[in-house]
């Protein structure tokens, strides 16, 4: 009986010792601070091919098609996105949008490896029309050389001026069309893409997405 009691207390002592050591290790283990995103990396960066980048962290970004694309293309019926693990390169083919005979291949705004694909937007392409970056993104990418590549993109005041210039160019390209290109406030008229003929779309594709 005394042997059993002795073993019982020995087990308790060992258990307490293990618990104390774990607590000490937890205290000594340094906490890894999350890397902060520099102030100038915040906001949206846009590639001239009308694709955007949002920096989530130094090791992950979201990318997608910009509002201009969604306005002039029309209702997307099908999306062809790369698979997770695929490597994309800034300025080279990233994905394609389809609607009937229309197809638009867009360039990757950033170089990096695809780590996540937005399956929800594949199943419901109408999410692209939402002004919600948390829902209408296409890919999440682990970037390579992020700082250098962000400098190749449009951002801040430069992006604002460029967007305005694009809208003015659109008015010129479709100036003879029998419907308003821009609405009050200078935004592209809602549903513009649905009103374009295939010939007008091809003209826009050549002017803005080549």
User: So what's the pLDDT on residue 40?
Assistant: 75
Q: At 17, is the secondary structure helix, strand, or coil?
A: helix
- For residue 109, what are its two tokens? 């705004």
Q: At 58, is the secondary structure helix, strand, or coil?
A: coil
Instruction: Give backbone dihedrals phi and psi of 136, rounded to 5 degrees, phi first.
Output: -100, 10
* 15, pLDDT greater than 80: no
* 27, pLDDT greater than 50: no
Boundaries of every domain in the chain: 39-154, 157-209
User: So what's the pLDDT on residue 132?
Assistant: 86
User: So what's the pLDDT on residue 162?
Assistant: 97
Q: What is the assigned CATH class of domain 39-154?
A: mainly beta
User: So what's the pLDDT on residue 124?
Assistant: 93
Nearest C-alpha neighbor of 110 from the set 75, 71, 80, 137: 137
* 6, pLDDT greater than 50: no
User: So what's the pLDDT on residue 142?
Assistant: 98
- Give the tens place of pLDDT for each residue, 64-111: 999 999 999 989 999 999 999 999 999 999 999 999 889 999 999 999
Mean pLDDT confidence for 140-165: 95
Instruction: Please provide the average confidence, as pLDDT, over all residues in the chain.
Output: 84
- Give the tens place of pLDDT for each residue, 31-55: 444 567 778 788 899 999 999 999 9
């Amino acid at each position: 009986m005394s042997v059993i009691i002795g073993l019982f207390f020995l087990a308790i002592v060992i258990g307490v010792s293990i618990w104390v050591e774990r607590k000490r290790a937890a205290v000594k283990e340094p906490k890894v601070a999350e890397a902060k995103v520099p102030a100038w990396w915040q906001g949206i960066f846009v590639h001239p091919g009308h694709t955007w980048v949002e920096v989530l962290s130094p090791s992950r970004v979201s990318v997608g098609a910009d509002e201009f694309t969604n306005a002039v293309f029309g209702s997307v019926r099908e999306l062809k996105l790369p698979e997770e693990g695929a490597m994309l390169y800034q300025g080279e083919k990233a994905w394609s949008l389809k609607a009937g005979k229309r197809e638009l291949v867009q360039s990757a705004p950033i170089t990096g490896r695809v780590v996540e694909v937005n399956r929800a937007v594949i199943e419901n392409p109408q999410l692209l029309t939402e002004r919600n970056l948390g829902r209408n993104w296409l890919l999440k990418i682990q970037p390579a050389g992020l700082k250098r590549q962000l400098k190749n993109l449009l951002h801040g005041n430069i992006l604002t001026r460029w967007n305005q210039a694009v809208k003015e160019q659109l008015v010129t390209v479709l100036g003879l069309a029998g419907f308003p290109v821009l609405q009050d406030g200078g935004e592209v008229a809602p549903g513009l893409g649905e009103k374009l003929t295939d010939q007008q779309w091809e003209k826009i594709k050549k002017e803005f997405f080549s």
